Structure formats: structure tokens, C-alpha cells
């Protein structure tokens, strides 16, 4: 990603940031204070940033926090896109829930910029691929059919909403 953000880019970045801030102010999306997260552990990484698992308020509740490498036009637009897409499919049991947003302020005294992290439901079972590697032999045909059916339902739900995912990441929530 380029550091040379032109005026148009900066303007758009502010527009996306305003969108996020207004959604938080009006409580359209829930805001989580970053200080209440602890026991933060990296669990994966994607094209835009890393994903962490974090404990909420020292309870039994864990969330997944999706971070972004830097806050520029492309990433702020991606945050807004992701929030909008998640809202459209928020009703489906087999799609990870979008919970809200948190802000991480730079600790650097000169650079006081903020960055957003998306707060999501945490899938404690890890990736389906790994789960199958370890458990394939012990799964019954009924279990396998259920997994395939849930997967097909989730993809069908995305398609019904006009969303083509292109690089599906399948994670599991253990019963
Ligand atoms: N809610 C979650 N619970 C548990 N693990 C998750 C969760 N979200 C993501 N992960 C893990 O983090 C990794 C990266 O997630 P991310 O969503 O950034 O991937 P991606 O979809 O490949 O990225 P992108 O499409 O944005 O480039 C996943 O492969 C998965 O292992």
C-alpha cells in the first residue's frame, strides 16, 4: 500500500471515518472500550491486517478483533464495507457475528492517530481445515453432512444477499 495519499484519498478517508464515528455516536454500532480487552493473542492474519483473540472485561467472554495495518483510504473503506456487509447477513446462524468496533490509540506522543478494530464473535474451534485434519476419522457421516449443510447454507445466504466471497475462511464454533 502506498504512503502517497493524494487529496482525494484523504478526503475520502475522512468521509469514511465520519461514517464510522457517526454510527458509533448514534449507537448504530456498538462501541467497545479497548482498555477492557485483555489476554490478547494473535490468531491469524489476512490481506488487511491481523486478527486477535481477546478477553472482554475479564469475564468468560472472548471476542475476535480484526485489525488493519494502517488507517488510509483503502482500509477505512474496507472497514465500512465489512460493517455494511456484516449487517446484511447478521441474521444467519452460520455466519460470524459482527459485534461492534473498538479504537486503539497510538501510544506515541507525537503520533496520536487512532486505528479501528472490528469486534467479532470468536470462533473457538479454529479453522475447519485443521479441525478435519485432526478429527476426520472420528466424525460420523451425520456429522460430516451437518458440516457440509451448514457451509452450503452460509454460502447460499451470502449469494441471496448478492455477496460473492471469493476467499472463504471457514472457522468453527464448538458446541
Ligand atoms: N471470528 C474469528 N474467530 C476466530 N478466528 C478468526 C476469526 N476471524 C478470522 N479468524 C482467523 O484469522 C484469519 C484471518 O482472518 P481474516 O478475516 O483477516 O482473513 P481473510 O478473510 O483471509 O482476510 P481478507 O479477506 O480480509 O484478506 C482467518 O484465516 C482465521 O484463521
ipTM at complex level: 0.92
Task: Assess whether 167 carries a catalytic annotation.
Answer: yes
- At residue 5, the pLDDT reads 40
Largest pairwise CA distance in the chain: 59
- At residue 15, the pLDDT reads 87
Separation CA 118–CA 46 (nearest Å) = 13
Instruction: Specify the 3-state DSSP secondary structure of 79.
Output: helix
State which fold the 13-123 domain adopts.
Phosphorylase Kinase; domain 1 (3.30.200)
66 appears as a binding residue in the annotation: yes
| pTM over the 0.90 mark | no
Q: Which tens digits make up the pLDDT trace of 53-90?
A: 999 999 999 999 999 887 788 888 888 988 988 888 88
Q: If you measure from the C-alpha of residue 30 to the centroid of ligand 1, how many angstroms do you get, rounded to a whole number?
A: 21
Question: What average pLDDT does the segment 122-148 reach?
Answer: 92
Residue 46: pLDDT band with limits 50, 70, 90: confident
DSSP conformation class of 3: S
- At residue 112, the pLDDT reads 53
Residue 3 grid cell: 504512503
Separation CA 94–CA 154 (nearest Å) = 5
Separation CA 12–CA 17 (nearest Å) = 9
- Residue with the smallest CA separation from ligand 1 atom 12 is 44
- Residue with the smallest CA separation from ligand 1 atom 23 is 46
Produce one character per residue of 24-54: b if its CB has 16 or more CB atoms within 10 Å, e if not: beeeebebbebeebeeeeebeeeebbebbbb
Amino acid at each position: 500500500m502506498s504512503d502517497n495519499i493524494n487529496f482525494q484519498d484523504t478526503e475520502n478517508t475522512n468521509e469514511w471515518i465520519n461514517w464510522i464515528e457517526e454510527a458509533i455516536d448514534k449507537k448504530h454500532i456498538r462501541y467497545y472500550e479497548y482498555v477492557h480487552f485483555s489476554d490478547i493473542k494473535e490468531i491469524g492474519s489476512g490481506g488487511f491486517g491481523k486478527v486477535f483473540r481477546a478477553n472482554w472485561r475479564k469475564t468468560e467472554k472472548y471476542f475476535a478483533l480484526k485489525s488493519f495495518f494502517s488507517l488510509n483510504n483503502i482500509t477505512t473503506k474496507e472497514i465500512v464495507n465489512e460493517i455494511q456487509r456484516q449487517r446484511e447477513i447478521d441474521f444467519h446462524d452460520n455466519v460470524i457475528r459482527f459485534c461492534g468496533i473498538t479504537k486503539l490509540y497510538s501510544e506515541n506522543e507525537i503520533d496520536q492517530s487512532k486505528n479501528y478494530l472490528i469486534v467479532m464473535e470468536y470462533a473457538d474451534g479454529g479453522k475447519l481445515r485443521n479441525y478435519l485434519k485432526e478429527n476426520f476419522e472420528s466424525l460420523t457421516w451425520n456429522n460430516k453432512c451437518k458440516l457440509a449443510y451448514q457451509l452450503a447454507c452460509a454460502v447460499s445466504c451470502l449469494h441471496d444477499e448478492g455477496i460473492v466471497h471469493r476467499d472463504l475462511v471457514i472457522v468453527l464454533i464448538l458446541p
